[in-house]
Amino acid sequence: MSEERLAQARAWLRQDPDHETRDELAGLITRASGGDEAAVAELDDRFGARLAFGTAGLRGELGAGSNRMNRVLVAQAAAGFAAYLSERAHGATPTVVIGYDGRRNSRVFATDSAEIFAGAGLRAILLPRLLPTPVLAFAVRHFGADAGVMVTASHNPPNDNGYKVYLGGDDQGSQIVAPADAEIAAQIQRVADTLRVPALPRSTAYEIAPEAVVDAYVAATAAVAPAPAGADGLRWVYTAMHGVGWETLSRILTTAGYPQPAVVDQQLRPDARFRTVSFPNPEEPGAMDLAFARARRAKADFILANDPDADRLAVAIPDESAADGWRRLTGNEVGLLLGARAARAAEGTPGASLACSLVSSPGLSAVAAHHGLDFHETLTGFKWISRAPGIVFGFEEALGYLVNPETVRDKDGISAAVAILGLAAEARDRGLGLADLLSELGDTYGHFASGQVSVRVEDLSIIGTVMLSLRSLPPAHIGTQSIAVAEDLLQAAPGQPAGDVLRYRLADGSRVIVRPSGTEPKLKVYIDAKADSAEGARDVVAALEAGVRVLLEERS
């Protein structure tokens, strides 16, 4: 064990205000000093790097150390962000709103941040209790704030937490993008290098936001799709996935005039342990099993599920061909349903546009063209989608939907749920269900299908190895389909989005995109196809999925 690493750990220990992580780190230091190899490796992992502040803010595993989420790291982040906002304000007093969800330490991290913001001379407003991420994004605009911070790790594993940052003003409450991320990171590093956490000025003179801000979000979201005539007979199931969505959604349902759903009781209230799921993400296998069982008992027409901070939405429908009788719609299917809804409403509006990330279905472009709207393809992430000019709707295939851009410039799983309820009620009035609406989409805009191959890794270097191999020796085909055009978005043309993304356009018109996940240790491959029928498009995707798996096995 190097003396330098031990010195780092001891210096961290001396400024840690959290007795739990202090005790944890003290034990590690003692064991590592005695030659315990596991403790030595653990200290190297915790202090060999610093959890990077990027365009998603901070996100990582809870624990002591610079490479973990903890009170020291959060205090440094809050002080650095406060310095950035003060410098940007040119003498004015910046306002920052802070929200938090039900994860471990979320409330503590949010309170620490409020005290440090107030201590730095900012006007700090702490939301009144744990609330969904979309409420915080809404509050930034509601208060005319300069910035917002949401303490959440969204759908990450139970022992993770995070620190998501928004900017007001010209940024309209969107998540940060470059160069703000690098400028904030530099201020955080300055704080970490020159100041100790106990020396940071703190103040309890922060404000607690009134309930009126939640009331305003409820009213604005209920107005997304007030209940039409067919709403009374809707039979549906809801799960909050152990998160914070239910209280707010339930109020909105009453305000908008929708019936309350049958609920998954075991997952309805916030639970930081997420005890019924391996990963609290509706996309993960098994996460919606309890919802499927509840829906069978209730003879429901569909299921809606939020992720733990309620910024994403999953939709499932009955499917006799599925083993458990239910099928979760892909994010692309839901995105096209909601995109067509928005396009019909915006048709004829000058400058109105639809937007999606480059890994999401090209079907949204067809929807926009059909209705005479503009279309924008962006890099992954709502920090980019929300900035599309003239946006009336945006989505990303990872279950994120922006349906109410005038009030929330971020994905919002609650307003998306209300919009789906509106579509379901209107369909029911015509004697149809959500599956019928999907068929109508194909008949109107063309039959699109999508698939995904996702590889979770323990060693992040594997992802870099695969990406390097694909760049160094580009494949000539995927499965039986030859590659017509290979694009490396690290070397994008001027005016085009740039990122660590490889895009392959195949001879039959299909598309395959490879990229590392921005929030999880995964390599993701996205597959899109269009055919004369829904079944034909699905067959193309299935064949390409098999080809992708062979390719990744060869390159890893």
Nearest-CA neighbor of 100 among 208, 191, 241?
A: 208
The CB density around residue 430, as the number of other CB atoms within 10 Å, is: 10
Q: Are 324 and 292 in contact (CB under 8 A)?
A: yes
**Per-residue buried b or exposed e for 124-149, using 16+ beta carbons within 10 Å of the residue's own CB:** bbbbeebbbbbbbbbbbbbbebbbbb
Q: Are 277 and 285 in contact (CB under 8 A)?
A: no
Residue 164 exposure: Cα atoms within 13 Å on the Cβ side: 28
| Residue 172 falls in which region: left (phi positive, over 0), alpha (psi -120 to 50) or beta | left
Q: Are 339 and 438 in contact (CB under 8 A)?
A: no
Tokens of 61: 């595993």
Query: Which residue among the candidates 66, 86, 154, 357 is catalytic per the annotation?
Result: 154
Q: Are 328 and 239 in contact (CB under 8 A)?
A: no
Question: Which residue reads 């994120």 in tokens?
Answer: 400
Tell me, yes or no, if 154 is annotated catalytic: yes
In 331-440 the beta strands, taken as DSSP E runs, fall at 353-357, 374-378, 391-396, 400-402
Radius of gyration (C-alpha) of the chain in whole angstroms: 24
Q: Are 361 and 336 in contact (CB under 8 A)?
A: yes
Backbone CA torsion sign across 73, 75, 77, 80: negative
Burial class (CB in 10 A: 0-12, 13-18, 19+), 369: middle
CA 40 to chain centre: 34
The CB density around residue 285, as the number of other CB atoms within 10 Å, is: 9
Residue 490 exposure: Cα atoms within 13 Å on the Cβ side: 10
User: What's the CA gap between 228 and 234, in Å, rounded?
Assistant: 11
Q: Are 263 and 238 in contact (CB under 8 A)?
A: yes
The CB density around residue 67, as the number of other CB atoms within 10 Å, is: 19
Nearest-CA neighbor of 309 among 123, 66, 82, 127?
A: 127
Q: Are 35 and 1 in contact (CB under 8 A)?
A: yes
> What residues are labeled active site?
154
